């Protein structure tokens, strides 16, 4: 990854993005301050018994950013570099993401400072259950619904759901989403982020002068979102995947890579590196490849003022959260590169999370085809609204997506009024 990203405060980035749109919408100072301030934050420090019998104290956060449109929604990440400002920024982005696809949610986010790659399954379970206990007063189906994020998964959500349910005395499947099917999870949830991203790329391609059949695609971050996006673009739209990467580095082949075979190789070896017939490439270099579609699907702050001028893609589809800084946005806009912003491009995950929550509350579940049809309708309609605003206001898609999202949140704040 680019080495300079650690100096960029993601919450400052999030606040700058709000200011840009607040100016466009001519919002007054009070409304602007509400939009730039998290509603509620919790930081917890808790002990966990390790496998060797010792105890370690871990720090975790949960931020509920805005509840004007409904309960907060957002993932929990386990990562050594988790900070409160990062969680604040992710919670803010979740607020706008839910609003841009018109879900009845606000945004939330959580994180624990840890290195899950160095922890056993037992240690991760004890950490998860204790963290869930610490944040339990703030979560629930009507208040705040966590989901998986970086280095958390359906097993993590199962432990949280079980811990919360034990405290309540009955099963509460709607407290989290991203659960296994057997615990009230939804069909299609696992691939929803990548599928939603692929739908948005398909809708944007004609406006960007790209024919998806044979289009060259580079994906930085071959995790869940990146791998699903790559496979769907390859299988359903006939695109040619020319580069893929993970946290250890990347691979490239101008003749094309089969993402299914790369996935099998990664499952066997733990990395995409060493895939037969591919050349190694760094995570920095993959961003600068000449291609039709670039999918940053790793971490935030990957495209910055320092490398934006080197981006050669026609479409940048943000499967990751916050991969492009505001300064880089302006450079890409001037270069007439179509950016599909994170709050739209990767909103498929939270959309199917909403479907899962709705199914849990009803106790009535939909087949996969229905889930995917509903997801496609949401993503296609949301892209259309963002494209319309971008065209009318002559702004780039991120600003347009924020205009759509922030206006919806502002409308909710105004019509509700301020209590008391």
Identify the pLDDT of residue 326.
85
Pair 79, 162 in one domain: yes
Mean pLDDT for 382-408 is: 96
Residues 293 and 197 in one domain: yes
| Catalytic pick among 73, 109, 231, 266 | 109
- Expressed as residue numbers, the domain containing 247 is 192-345
Determine whether 240 is an active site residue.
Answer: no
pLDDT at 417 > cutoff 60: yes
pLDDT band at 2 (very low <50, low <70, confident <90, very high): very low
Asked if 236 and 104 sit in the same domain, the reply is no
Read off the CATH number of the domain in which 77 is found: 3.40.50.10860
Q: CA neighbours within 13 Å on the CB side: how many for 379?
A: 31
Query: Tokens representing 136?
Result: 């339990």
pLDDT exceeds cutoff 90 at 321: no
In a domain, 287, yes or no: yes
Pick the closest to residue 383 from 343, 332, 353 (CA basis).
Answer: 343
* Share above pLDDT 70 across residues of the chain, in percent, rounded to a whole number: 98
Residue 322 lies in a domain: yes
Q: Buried (b) or exposed (e) across 334-350, using 16+ Cβ within 10 A? A: eeebbbbbbbbbbbbbb
DSSP H helices, 237-303, are 259-269, 283-287
Mention every residue, 6+ apart, whose C-beta is less than 8 A from residue 25. 403, 406, 407, 410
Residue pair 87/61 in contact by the 8 Å Cβ criterion: yes
In a domain, 64, yes or no: yes
Q: How many domains does the chain have?
A: 2
| 152, 178, 204 - which closes a domain | 178
Domain boundary (345, 372, 398) is at 345
Kindly report, residue by residue over 136-154, the tens digit of the pLDDT. 999 999 999 999 988 999 9
pLDDT digits (tens, 9 = 90+) for 214-265: 999 999 999 989 999 999 999 999 999 999 999 999 999 999 999 999 999 9
CB atoms closer than 10 angstroms to residue 165: 15
User: ω into residue 420 within 30 of 0, thus cis?
Assistant: yes
Split at pLDDT 50, 70, 90, the class of 4 is very low
pLDDT at 3: 39
pLDDT for the residue numbered 6: 55
CATH of the domain at 233: 3.40.50.720
Query: What pLDDT does 182 receive?
Result: 96
Whether residues 103 and 204 share a domain: the answer is: no
Percentage of residues in the chain having pLDDT higher than 90: 93
Number of helices and strands (H, E) in the chain? 14, 12
pLDDT at 10: 86
């Amino acid at each position: 990854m680019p080495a300079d990203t650690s100096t960029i405060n993601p919450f400052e980035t999030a606040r700058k993005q709000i200011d840009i749109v607040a100016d466009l919408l001519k919002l007054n100072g009070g409304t602007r301050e509400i939009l730039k301030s998290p509603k509620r934050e919790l930081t917890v420090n808790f002990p966990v018994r390790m496998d060797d019998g010792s105890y370690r104290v871990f720090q975790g956060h949960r931020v509920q950013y805005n509840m004007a449109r409904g309960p907060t929604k957002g993932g929990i990440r386990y990562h050594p570099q988790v900070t409160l400002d990062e969680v604040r920024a992710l919670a803010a982005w979740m607020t706008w993401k839910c609003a841009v696809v018109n879900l009845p949610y606000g945004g939330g986010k959580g994180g624990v400072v840890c290195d899950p790659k160095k922890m056993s399954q037992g240690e991760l379970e004890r950490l998860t259950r204790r963290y869930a206990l610490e944040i339990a007063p703030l979560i629930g189906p009507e208040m705040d619904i966590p989901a998986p994020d970086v280095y958390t998964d359906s097993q993590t959500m199962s432990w949280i759901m079980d811990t919360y349910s034990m405290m309540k005395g009955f099963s509460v499947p709607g407290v989290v989403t991203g659960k296994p099917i057997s615990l009230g999870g939804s069909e299609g949830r696992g691939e929803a982020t990548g599928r939603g991203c692929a739908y948005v790329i398909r809708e944007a391609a004609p406006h960007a002068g790209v024919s998806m059949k044979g289009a060259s695609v580079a994906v930085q971050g071959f995790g869940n979102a990146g791998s699903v996006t790559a496979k769907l673009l390859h299988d359903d739209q006939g695109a040619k995947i020319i580069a893929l990467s993970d946290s250890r580095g990347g691979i490239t082949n101008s003749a094309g890579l089969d993402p299914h075979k790369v996935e099998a190789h990664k499952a066997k070896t733990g990395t995409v590196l060493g895939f037969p017939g591919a050349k190694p490439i760094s995570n920095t270099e993959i961003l600068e490849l000449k291609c039709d579609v670039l999918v940053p699907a790793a971490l935030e702050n990957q495209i910055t003022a320092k490398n934006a001028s080197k981006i050669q893609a026609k479409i940048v589809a943000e499967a990751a959260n916050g991969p492009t800084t505001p300064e880089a946005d302006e450079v890409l806009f001037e270069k007439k590169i179509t950016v599909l912003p994170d709050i739209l491009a990767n909103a498929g995950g939270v959309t199917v999370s909403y479907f899962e929550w709705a199914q849990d509350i009803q106790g009535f579940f939909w087949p996969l085809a229905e889930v995917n049809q509903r997801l496609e309708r949401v993503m296609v309609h949301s892209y259309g609204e963002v494209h319309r605003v971008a065209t009318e206001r002559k702004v780039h898609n991120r600003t347009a997506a924020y205009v759509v999202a922030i206006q919806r949140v502002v409308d909710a704040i105004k019509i509700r009024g301020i209590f008391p």
